[in-house]
């Protein structure tokens, strides 16, 4: 099946002309036609544009102009602006929005020859951990509980559509964004590799902003090497993003072959929370064993402020969101609701255009930034954030990388954890620290739980040392030998 190939394999075969880029794209469009009505992973499928791009890829291959991703079909989270293709952020307020410009990350993927299949579903404005807050309906996780095949599981979030698309073989890879875990948590729930690079590694220009100091674009793939190929294309300095880092992009694929011999791997003791499921604890120990067997040294470390990460995040992220989302006023773009006066038009547009979770976060953010409360909430959170960064810096004095579970549980069912926002927020317990500190982290599929659902382990590295993170991830991938497949997939 063409849809089962990795990006690395497909690239070789395209270059050898074993099949055409049009064949490869058609196979994925067919998979989308078959599976998407059920999984709802794509909000928009760009059928004819994808075929045009595939034909152009075939011409490039015929000329001998093969680039890193020539002819590779990808799915794009509907948070990346794509010129001429509707970009909704899964919100009613952007339902009619067709960007006149291309985000830097997607422009770089196109520069390298990629084919875009369409725009994937997400939690509204990337605010959520289940894809349940999308105005375009929830996404179904292609994985099923062995004992309960009728339960409809969430793919995680916010990049739930991207994760479901890659897991179900509707796409070979995808873009995502990760503000508190929105790439790594869905990767863990869907048995994928999810890469959140260092802050500043991938440009945020043209990505609909949620919390600017925490938003990280990054890729989803089915192998660590494919993640390295995609990040290599997406990364790089962009003068249009003032926080984009002007540092060279190394060869991530080569880093995957480095091995871990002699590396010092840290185990943060504060991640061993009470009530962690025994099978997740066991998988963590197993992962450490793989690295020890491969010649790494395992070291206990401490990140003392870990437990304050989520509360810090739920001040900083809503504060930045309330500011970023002020632009949706019904004047220049998006859906407008009428009002007798200008202020009514603003209020009605925003009340109708934003869903409940987005309104809740705007309210929290507005409150913590308001006069009289700024110091008590926002300023204090920024100081705790500094302590969290200090924890990581101290740990990285002793070790080259950290290993933790990615999530406190496997994928849960639609409707679960919906009554209390804080229960949903706890999904990001292990992932949020890397966003607050801006350090790179990858989730890899490491095993299955008793229900046959994938569980991820997270590898966290030093700022701009994605290479070590890829080296450790690739070693763990080899040792894990994860070959399980989701029940719902192309050809499945």
Partner 1 sequence: MSLDTATIRRIASLARLTVTEDQLEPLAHELNSILGWIEQLNEVNVDGVEPLTGGAQMAMKMRDDVVTDGGYPEKILANAPDRAGQFFAVPKVVE
Q: Which is nearer to partner 1, 220 or 313 (CB)?
A: 313
Q: Which is nearer to partner 1, 421 or 492 (CB)?
A: 421
Any contact of residue 374 with partner 1 (CB under 8 A)? no
Q: Which is nearer to partner 1, 239 or 491 (CB)?
A: 239
Residues from 50 through 109 that contact partner 1 (CB under 8 A): 96-98, 100
Q: Are 75 and 162 in contact (CB under 8 A)?
A: yes
State which of residues 144, 385, 417, 489 lies at the interface with partner 1 (CB under 8 A).
Answer: 385
Q: Are 182 and 191 in contact (CB under 8 A)?
A: no
Distances (CA, A) of 285 to 280, 292, 411: 9, 10, 21
Residues from 188 through 217 that contact partner 1 (CB under 8 A): 199-200, 212-214
Stretch that binds partner 1, among 169-177, 189-197, 285-293, 349-357 (CB under 8 A): 349-357
Q: What six digits make up the tokens of 185?
A: 């948590």
Stretch that binds partner 1, among 169-177, 184-192, 357-365, 407-415 (CB under 8 A): 357-365
Any contact of residue 438 with partner 1 (CB under 8 A)? yes
Active site residue 144: no
Q: Which is nearer to partner 1, 149 or 419 (CB)?
A: 419
Stretch that binds partner 1, among 57-65, 362-370, 451-459, 484-492 (CB under 8 A): 362-370
| CA angle (473, 471, 162) in 5-degree steps | 45
Residue 72 main-chain phi, psi, to 5 deg: -90, 120
**CA–CA distance, 163 with 167 (Å, rounded to integer):** 6
Residues from 296 through 325 that contact partner 1 (CB under 8 A): 305, 307-308, 311-312, 314-315, 322
Active site residue 240: no
Report the DSSP beta bridge partners of residue 19: none
CA 385 to chain centre: 22
- Residue 193, SS3 per DSSP: strand
User: Which H/E stretch holds residue 114?
Assistant: none
Active site residue 182: yes
Site size for partner 1, by CB under 8 A?
72
| CA angle (214, 453, 133) in 5-degree steps | 45
Q: How far is the CB of 18 from partner 1 (least distance, A)?
A: 41
Q: What six digits make up the tokens of 184?
A: 């790594």
**CA–CA distance, 402 with 385 (Å, rounded to integer):** 19
Any contact of residue 142 with partner 1 (CB under 8 A)? no
Q: How far is the CB of 105 from partner 1 (least distance, A)?
A: 17
| CA angle (212, 460, 387) in 5-degree steps | 60
Q: Which is nearer to partner 1, 90 or 319 (CB)?
A: 319
Report, as residue numbers or ranges, the catalytic residues: 77, 158, 182
């Amino acid at each position: 099946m063409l849809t089962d190939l990795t990006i690395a394999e497909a690239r070789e075969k395209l270059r050898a002309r074993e099949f055409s880029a049009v064949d490869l794209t058609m196979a994925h469009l067919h998979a989308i036609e078959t599976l998407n009505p059920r999984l709802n992973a794509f909000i928009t499928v760009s059928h004819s544009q994808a075929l045009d791009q595939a034909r152009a890829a075939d011409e490039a291959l015929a000329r001998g102009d093969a680039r890193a991703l020539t002819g590779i079909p990808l799915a794009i989270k509907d948070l990346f602006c794509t010129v001429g293709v509707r970009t909704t952020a899964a919100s009613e307020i952007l339902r009619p929005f067709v960007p006149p410009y291309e985000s830097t990350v997607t422009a770089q993927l196109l520069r390298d020859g990629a084919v875009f299949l369409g725009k994937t579903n997400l939690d509204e404005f990337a605010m959520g951990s289940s894809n349940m807050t999308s105005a375009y309906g929830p996404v179904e996780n292609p994985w099923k509980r062995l004992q309960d095949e009728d339960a409809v599981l969430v793919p995680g979030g916010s990049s739930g559509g991207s994760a479901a698309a890659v897991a179900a073989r509707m796409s070979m890879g995808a873009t995502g964004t990760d503000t508190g875990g929105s790439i790594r948590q869905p990767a863990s729930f869907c048995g994928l590799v999810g890469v959140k690079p260092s802050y500043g590694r991938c440009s945020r220009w043209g990505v609909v902003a949620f919390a600017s100091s925490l938003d990280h674009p990054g890729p989803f793939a089915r192998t660590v090497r494919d993640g390295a190929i995609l990040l290599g294309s997406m990364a790089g300095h962009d003068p249009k993003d003032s926080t984009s880092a002007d540092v060279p992009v190394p060869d991530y694929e080569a880093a995957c072959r480095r091995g871990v011999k002699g590396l010092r791997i840290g185990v943060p003791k504060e991640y061993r929370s009470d009530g962690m499921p025994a099978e997740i604890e066991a998988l963590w120990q197993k992962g450490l064993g793989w690295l020890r067997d491969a010649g790494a040294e395992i070291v206990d470390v401490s990140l003392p402020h870990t437990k304050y990460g989520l509360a810090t995040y739920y001040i900083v992220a809503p504060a930045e969101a309330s500011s970023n989302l002020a632009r949706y006023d019904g004047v220049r773009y998006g859906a407008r609701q009428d009002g007798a006066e200008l202020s009514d038009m603003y209020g009605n547009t925003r009340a109708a255009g934003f869903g409940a979770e987005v309104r809740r976060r705007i309210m929290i953010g507005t409150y913590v930034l308001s006069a009289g409360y700024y110091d008590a909430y926002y300023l204090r959170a920024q100081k705790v954030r500094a302590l969290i960064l200090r924890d990581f810096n101290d740990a990285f004095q002793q070790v080259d990388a950290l290993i933790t579970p990615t999530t406190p549980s496997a994928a849960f069912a639609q409707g679960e954890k919906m009554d209390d926002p804080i229960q949903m927020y706890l999904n990001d317990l292990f992932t949020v620290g890397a966003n607050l500190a801006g350090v790179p982290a990858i989730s890899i599929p490491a095993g299955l739980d008793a229900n046959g659902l994938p569980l991820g382990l997270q590898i966290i590295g030093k700022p701009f040392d994605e290479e070590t993170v890829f080296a450790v991830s690739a070693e763990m991938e080899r040792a894990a030998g994860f070959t399980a497949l989701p029940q719902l997939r192309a050809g499945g």
